[in-house]
Amino acid sequence: MTQQTTSSTRPLRVSRAQAPLSGSIRVPGDKSISHRALMFASLAKGTTHISGLLEGEDVLCTAAAMRALGADAVQEGPGQWRVSGPGVGQLKEPDNVLDMGNSGTAARLLSGILASHGMTSVMTGDASLRRRPMKRVMDPLAGTGATFLAREGGRLPMAIRGLADPKPLDYRLPVASAQVKSAVLLAGLNAVGETRVEEPVATRDHTENMLRHFGAEVSVEKTPDGGRIIRLQGRPNLVARDVAVPGDPSSAAFPLVAALLVAGSDITIFGVGLNPLRTGLFTTLQEMGAQLEILNARTEGGEPVGDLRVRASALKGVEVPPERAPSMIDEYPVLAVAAAYASGVSRFCGVEELRVKESDRLAATVALLENNGVRTAVEGNDMIVYGTAGHIPGGGKVETHMDHRLAMSASVMGLVAEKPVEIDDTSFIETSFPQYLDLMNSIGAGFVA
């Protein structure tokens, strides 16, 4: 049962599910694609119609930022947006500070756009985002000639003085990151010549897909060691094209794992994005023994999409290789819950990227489990979870650190823990998954808010 402690904090107490989860649902639109759709439509000439846009707080902050930069972004119905932009290099200097809310994706991607326009701008965000490091995008983007002024450690608020004629970048990512890669490519849109990015491991490629969708010339070359080299020809004539946003696989992860763990459950999730660089969780769960079927596979808006049927399953421990981490980086907390409920030991290799998410997500995930009686270990950049074979003790309080994925993962754990799980705050779930509690209740979760 939820107890309100302040007007802005919404704690939640989750007890073991009393019946199987069942029914059919749709999850909100893909968050990564929604941010990019608004940004690219604002840089294209003409009018783009976007359907299925995620209308969580993070994405609405992106829409507001693009309006402040001169784009016309208007909601025409639930998930339906019309966006008209002035074109590459034609954005205007904002009159006020750009508030990016909780979204590291939006802040880092927009940094690339702001660095390559002749203007001065300032970005900030909520308390969680202001703790997140931006130096990882500041350093490569400084190569365009842009200047940055931020708080210690490269943290927001951050001022950017961009150039109307930025230099093209040739950058090798030291750590795989779709956000840093995308920031560099976005900066390259307004640079004369070729921008080249090399990533050590393939990361989600929504930026490359959407650049092509709007008419940019992008090539991708695989490297012998499993990485990729992306090349973008600068100053393309981006032309408005409609975008259909698929259901977010990262959001689908929570009802999906809940259905795998709650005995007797059988649910279907319609219209989920199945980009192969985003489906590491699905692959891993199938390796653990999950009854997870992909039905009605199809392509919508240049992205693979399908329906997922999920049935309760007996899961076993698994070792996840480090090269799979970029394709499931946001799903490790809820995967850790699945591993805690499984039989045997699970090892998640190469998860250092978790340390720079909305929280230190690695430390917070360990605390989430250990506070509820599950043994874990961290060895270097690997996380180890010792499964309880269906007997998570529970009874602990989860500190979410304003991290929406930790809050939702804790809610899933509460459905199968032997004692109720206390979550300190769920208010910020709205940033990525509007009406999450209602949707989970529609399939029988029994959350009481």
Contact by Cβ (8 Å): 196, 171: yes
Contact by Cβ (8 Å): 318, 288: yes
| Residue numbering of the annotated binding site for phosphoenolpyruvate | 31, 104, 132, 179, 361, 405
Buried b (16+ CB within 10 A) or exposed e, 406-424: bbbbbbbbbbbbeeebbbb
330 part of the active site: yes
The two beta strands, 376-379 and 155-161, are unpaired
Distance CA 280, CA 288 (A): 12
| Residue numbering of the annotated binding site | 31-32, 36, 104, 132, 177, 179, 330, 357, 361, 405
Token pair in block for residue 302:
């240049």
Exactly one of 330, 403, 424, 425 is catalytic; which is it? 330
| Residue numbering of the annotated binding site for 3-phosphoshikimate | 31-32, 36, 177, 179, 330, 357
Distance CA 305, CA 64 (A): 28
Contact by Cβ (8 Å): 333, 366: no
Active-site residue set = 330
